[in-house]
Amino acid sequence: MAERSLWRGLAIPGVVWLLLFVVVPAYAVVAVAFGKIDTLLQPVPVWNPLDWNVGFVKEAFAGVVPGGTYWSATRNTLLYVGATVALCFAIGYPVAYYVARLSGRTKGLLLLLIFLPFWVSYLMRMLAWIGLLAPNGYVNEVLGWFGVGHTDWLDGNPFSVIAALTYGYIPYFILPVYAGLDRIDMRLMEAARDLGASRVRTFLRVTLPLSWPSILAGTVLIVLPMFGDYYTNDLISGSPNTNMLGNSVNLLVQGGSQKNLGAAMVLVLMTILAVGMLYYLWETNRQAKRARA
């Protein structure tokens, strides 16, 4: 019927755009990663899979395993991301829970305040911490009241990086968790209490399991971008000690003559993330289908 082509027609411009600027560039990365390098040290993309040169990709994969050149970056990334997720959960879940279920009249105000950091640029927020963590900044001063000596927070300190990552990404964790908790029907919890479960038991056996999908969504939502983060590290820690995979990629590509390796590293990064991404896509698609039905 003519209807079908109407809907398809509406979607065409968007699809074409995405094809041009997502699919083709994605293949370009692959082509460069499996490509060659010319005499001017510029990468030469190889489009035909039959002519692929696996040298750079091999080098990249070799680099991220223990003992490789980029192993410390990989290890840092895994550690920092893990620590950040744990912190985001420890801080963010109780906050989301309180706002979603217990805040009563102050809910509107709290929502406003919780959502506010979204609209503040990430870099502005990092800038704020640079000011506070400076050697003569207020963090050191306050710590001084408790007798803690002056620490150089901004020079290669992994705790600063983890704290900054947590600070930067936690709103993105709280949002889906809040949404999930808000959606839980209060009557389910009332039923559990009615049947004899204490508050703690109700939480553990009803609320937590029901909010699990949203916790997962929040985790995926922060882990994915964190794997490509290089600017947090650059801003909060000037030292290559705390480099993450994102820094490695950034240095290779924008550094100048190692774009092939950079592209290969992007592939490695994406492979590591493939599991998480596929899960998220599948889950979102499933929910979209359910909403459509």
Touching another protein, residues 173-192 (CB under 8 A): 175-176, 179
Taking CB under 8 A as the binding criterion, the range among 16-24, 61-69, 74-82, 143-151 that sits at the site for another protein is 16-24
- Only segment of 27-35, 68-76, 143-151, 184-192 that touches another protein (CB under 8 A): 27-35
For helices 24-33 and 259-292, angle between their N-to-C axes, nearest 10 degrees: 150
Q: CA–CA separation, 233 vs 162, rounded Å?
A: 9
Contact map string, positions 208 to 227, toward another protein, x by CB under 8 A: ------------x---xxxx
By CB under 8 A, tell whether 238 contacts another protein.
yes
Instruction: Give 50 or 293: the residue with its C-beta nearer to another protein.
Output: 293
Residue-wise over 1-31: b if at least 16 C-beta within 10 A, else e?
A: eeeeeeeeeeeeeeeeeeeeeeeeeeeebbb
Q: Which of 20, 41, 86, 208 binds another protein (CB under 8 A)?
A: 20
For residue 152, the minimal CB distance to another protein (Å) is 13
User: Could you give the string, one character per residue 40-79, with x where binding to another protein holds by CB under 8 A and - elsewhere?
Assistant: --xxxx----------------------------------
Residue 148 in the binding site for another protein (CB under 8 A): no
Q: Which of 192, 211, 219, 259 binds another protein (CB under 8 A)?
A: 259
Binding residue for another protein (CB under 8 A) from 37, 60, 87, 99?
99
User: How many other C-beta atoms lie within 10 A of the C-beta of residue 279?
Assistant: 12
Q: Which residues contact 175 (CB under 8 A, 6 or more apart)?
A: 115, 118, 218, 221
Question: Which of 66, 260 has the CB closer to another protein?
Answer: 260
Among 78, 95, 197, 206, binds another protein (CB under 8 A): 95
Judged by CB, which is closer to another protein: 66, or 248?
Answer: 248
CB of 261 to another protein, least distance (A): 12
What distance in Å separates the CA atoms of residue 117 and residue 85, rounded to the nearest whole number?
Answer: 18
Q: Under rule CB under 8 A, how many of the chain's residues touch another protein?
A: 109
Pick from 60, 77, 246, 258 the residue near another protein by CB under 8 A: 246
Residues in CB range of 242: below 8 A, 6 or more apart: 76, 80, 156, 157, 158, 161, 233
State which of positions 108-147 bind another protein (CB under 8 A). 108, 110-132, 134, 136-138
Residue 6 lies near another protein (rule: CB under 8 A): yes
Residues 190-209 that bind another protein (CB under 8 A): 196, 198-199
Candidate list 56, 153, 167, 169; residue touching another protein; CB under 8 A: 167
Nearer to another protein, 66 or 275 (CB): 275
